[in-house]
Amino acid sequence: MAQVLLEAGLMFAVLALAGTLARRVGQSVIPFYVIAGILMSPYVLGTLDIGPIAGLTVADYALAAEEHITLLAELGIVFLLFFLGLEFSLDRLLASKEKIGKAGTLDLLVNLPLGVVVGLALGWSLLEAFVLGGIVYISSSAVITKSLIDLGWIANAEAEPMLGTLVYEDLFIAFYLAVVSAVLLGGGEFAEIAVNVGTAMVFLLVLVGAVYLGGEYFEQFLDVDSQELFVLRAVAITVFVAGFALAIGVSEAVAAFFIGMGFSSTDHLHDLEHRLIPLRDVFAAVFFFWIGLNTDPAVFPAVAGIIAVLVVVTTPSKLLSGFLSGRIYGLDDRRNVRVGCGMVTRGEFSLIIAAIASSAVGRGPILTEVVPAVAVGYVLVMSILGTMLMQYSGYLERFVVESEPSTAAAD
C-alpha cells in the first residue's frame, strides 16, 4: 500500500516537474512527459548504482509500468478519445464537407501511403507497414490546437483548414484504430481477422445507434442536480463501455470516441468539458509517462536510422499537404505555409497506435518492440520540430512572400 502510493506520488511529482520545464522552454508537454517516463524507468533510473537516499537506493525510486500505473494510463487513452469525440462535430463536417473532404483526403493520400512505403522498403509485412503508415499520418490535435491558441493563430484564417483537417483525421483514426486493434489483438488467420473487424464494426454501430436513438435517455442520464453525481455518471458510462469493448476485443479508444460523440449533441456538452478536463489532463499525462516507462532508450540506436528516414520523409510531406490544403481553402501562400508548418506535429494518436502495436503479443518483434520504439522516438522529434516550425514559421513564410509581391503588399 505504502509502496503504491509512494510510486504514484513520485510519478505525479515528476510529471509536474516535466510540465513546468516544458512550459519554461515553450514546448509541448507531451515529449517532456514521455522523456520523464523514460528517465524514471527501470532501464535508466533502475540501473543507477548510487548510494541510499532516505533509506532507499536510487534504483529503488525507479518506476515500472505496473498494473496500477497501466490502469491510469489506460484511463488516459479513454479520456483522450472521449474528448476527441465530444469535440467532433458531425454537423461541422457536413457543413463544410467539400473543403474538409478535399483537404482531409489529400492529407490522407499523401501521408498514410508514405509511411506504408517506408515500412515496405524496410522489408516489413504489409500489416506492420500499415501500422507505421498510421503513426506518421496522424497529426496531433492536442499539440496543434494548443499551439494555435498560444500563437494567436486561432483567430486567423489558417486555423480553419488546420482544424478541419484534424476533424477529418480524427474520424479516420477512429475507424483505423477499430480495424487495426481488431486485427492486431485478435487471431492470425484471415477469416478470424474478418470476424474480428466485423465484430468491432457491429459493436460500434450498435453504440452509435444507441447513443443517437437514445439521445433523450443519455440526456436524462446526466441530468442530475449534483456535480459529484454528474461526474461519476459520466465517468461510469465512459469507462464501463470502453472496458466492455476491450473485453470483447474492440478498441477501448474507439468506444470512448463514440460515447463522446454521442454526448456532443446533448445539453451537457459544456458541463462535460468543464468538469472532465482535469481528469483527462491527469490521466493523459500518466499515459505519456507510461509510454516512456515502457521505452528502453537502449533500443534507440538500433532504430535511429528508421526514425531519421521518417523525419526526413514525412516532414516535407505534411508541409506540402498542409500547404495545398490551405490552397483548397483559398488562403494566400503565406498562410498556406503556416498550415503546412502547423500539421507537422505528431503526438498522442501515434503513441496510442504504438501502444496497441506493443500489446499485440505473438505478432513478432517488429510490432511489439521496433514499432513502439520508432513511434516514441519519432513523436519526440516531431512534436518538438512541429512546435518549432510553428513558432518560427516566419522564416519559411519569407520564401513565398518574396516570390509573390502581391501577397506581401496585401499584408
Partner 1 sequence: MTVYESDLPGVGKKFEVEIGDDERLVIVIHNTGKREVFHRVGEADSEKLFDLSDRLARQVGSILEGAHFQPVKSDTTETMLDGDSLLEWVNVAEGSDIVGKTLDELDFRNETGASVVSIQRDDTTESNPGPETVIQAGDTLIILGPREACREVEGLAAEVDEPESAIESGVIDELADDDTDA
Binding residues vs partner 1 (CB under 8 A): 83, 87-89, 92, 141-142, 145, 148-149, 152, 154-157, 159-160, 163, 166-167, 270, 273-274, 277, 332, 410-411
User: What sign does the CA torsion over 80, 71, 242, 225 have?
Assistant: negative
Report which of 23, 33, 9, 6 is spatially closest to residue 287, judged by C-alpha positions. 33
C-alpha pair distances (Å), 171 with each of 88, 159, 225, 257, 347: 8, 18, 33, 9, 16
- The minimum distance between CB 268 and partner 1, in angstroms, equals 13
Nearer to partner 1, 273 or 369 (CB): 273
Give the residue among 166, 107, 177, 106 at the shortest CA–CA distance from 140: 166
Q: Residue 157 CB, nearest distance to partner 1 (Å)?
A: 8
Show Cβ contacts of residue 40 under 8 Å, excluding neighbours closer than 6 positions.
Answer: 10, 11, 14, 61, 62, 63, 289, 292, 293
Q: Which is nearer to partner 1, 83 or 287 (CB)?
A: 83
Please say which residue, 236 or 277, places its beta carbon nearer to partner 1.
277
Nearer to partner 1, 152 or 301 (CB): 152
Q: To the nearest whole angstrom, how small is the minimum distance from the Cβ of residue 410 to partner 1?
A: 5
Question: In terms of C-beta density within 10 A (0-12 exposed, 13-18 middle, 19 or more buried), how is residue 368 classed?
Answer: middle
Among residues 33 and 88, whose Cβ is nearest to partner 1?
A: 88
Question: Toward partner 1, which CB reaches closer, 13 or 277?
Answer: 277
Smallest distance, partner 1 to C-beta of residue 89, A: 6
Instruction: Give the shortest CB-294-to-partner 1 separation in angstroms.
Output: 27
Cβ-based nearer residue to partner 1, 277 or 361? 277
* Min separation Cβ 299 and partner 1, Å: 33
**Residue 408 Cβ, how far from partner 1 at the closest point, in Å?**
11
- Cβ contacts of residue 158 below 8 Å, gap of 6+? 326, 331, 335, 336, 338, 339, 342
Q: How far is CA 364 from CA 260, 357, 361, in A?
A: 34, 10, 7
* CA–CA dist 314, 215 (Å, integer): 41
